[in-house]
Amino acid sequence: MKRFRAKIYLLLFLAGFVGVGAFAQQDPQFSQNMFNHLAVNPGFAGSQGMLNAGMINRQQWMGFPGNPTTTVFSVHAPVKPLGIPSGVGLTFIDDRLGFEKNTTITLNYAYRLSIGEGTLGIGANVGLLSREIDGKWSIPDSDNHSPASSDPSIPDEQASTTAFDLGFGLFYNNDNLYAGLSSTHLLEPILDYGNGAFTYMRRHYYGTVGYLFKLANPVYEIQPSLFAKYDGASFQTDVNMMLVYNKRFWGGVSYRLGDAVVVMAGTELANGLRLGIAYDFTTSAIATYSHGTVEFMLGYNLAIGTDKLSQRYKSVRFL
């Protein structure tokens, strides 16, 4: 019981330490981060010891024209080239916000090192960022607003550009614990639209930790977790608590500091299919104007060997 309380205090301390300020969002935001590690951490590739594919669709701040809409698809699996324990993965992100359409494709690799009862993934990814901006701008008609044509950094017609991207991450997990540190946009790539119009991606930093506690009744487990992100100027943190029943059903709540309260639920079927849903109740001032945020998750796990395919299914829960 003392060890249980100590771990809870540690998670709460970390939440208080990193949960300061608001986040200047360039990378898309998700609520079901415990199912979306590969999108921000290449060290996660191959960590589940099986073929894992997943998709999340997020409709943020519904009710706004041009509200953020994001879909992420990822697939990864363990491999053993030349006998080296590794993981490989692919991530595709389609992120749309107002006048922008952003597409990201990354290839991920992780070297997997056995440490104690778990494994550490040391990963890197390479990818391409594509950004497209619509040239039709809606500017309020008042003396307080300038037309887009007066700002040389804003394209006055449809424009698109691509840039090379790099990321790095560490991810450790065993049967009950996971923890990760990672960074995206290491080179802070410049997206140049020509004619003096350009932007760049800030380097982002991520940290996550979660632990699965077994309760006295073995059919129930709880998993507190944290997900923190930092863009070099400000923090944002999600504090999560999940209840798992019979290793197949879960429900929980999250609090994104200064932004939203999230409720989520899902199930993992015996054939490896996972279904989940989350709804964000916005707590910031934007709540007055939006209808909240909904997020759907679909995943599939298939146990494989590094040498040949196995049809044996193994539940991975959230790790």
Distance CA 260, CA 281 (A): 5
Which residue range(s) make up the domain with 121? 2-138+154-303
| Structural domain contains residue 223 | yes
CATH number at residue 298: 2.40.160.40
| Structural domain contains residue 107 | yes
Counted domains in the chain = 1
| Structural domain contains residue 315 | no
Both tokens assigned to 140: 């309020």
Residues with Cβ within 8 Å of residue 73, at least 6 apart in sequence? 53, 54, 55, 91, 92, 93
| Structural domain contains residue 61 | yes
Residues with Cβ within 8 Å of residue 193, at least 6 apart in sequence? 133, 155, 159, 160, 161
| Structural domain contains residue 149 | no
Strand-strand pairing, 197-200 and 220-230: unpaired
pLDDT tens for each residue of the chain, 319 residues long? 444 444 443 443 343 333 333 334 578 899 999 999 999 999 999 999 999 999 999 998 887 777 889 999 999 999 999 999 999 999 999 999 878 889 999 999 999 999 999 999 999 999 999 988 876 666 666 666 666 666 666 666 777 889 999 999 999 999 999 999 999 999 998 887 777 667 788 899 999 999 999 999 989 999 999 999 998 878 899 999 999 999 899 999 999 988 899 999 999 998 889 999 999 998 877 767 778 899 999 999 988 765 444 444 445 555 5
| Structural domain contains residue 50 | yes
| Structural domain contains residue 132 | yes
| Structural domain contains residue 108 | yes
Distance CA 103, CA 93 (A): 6
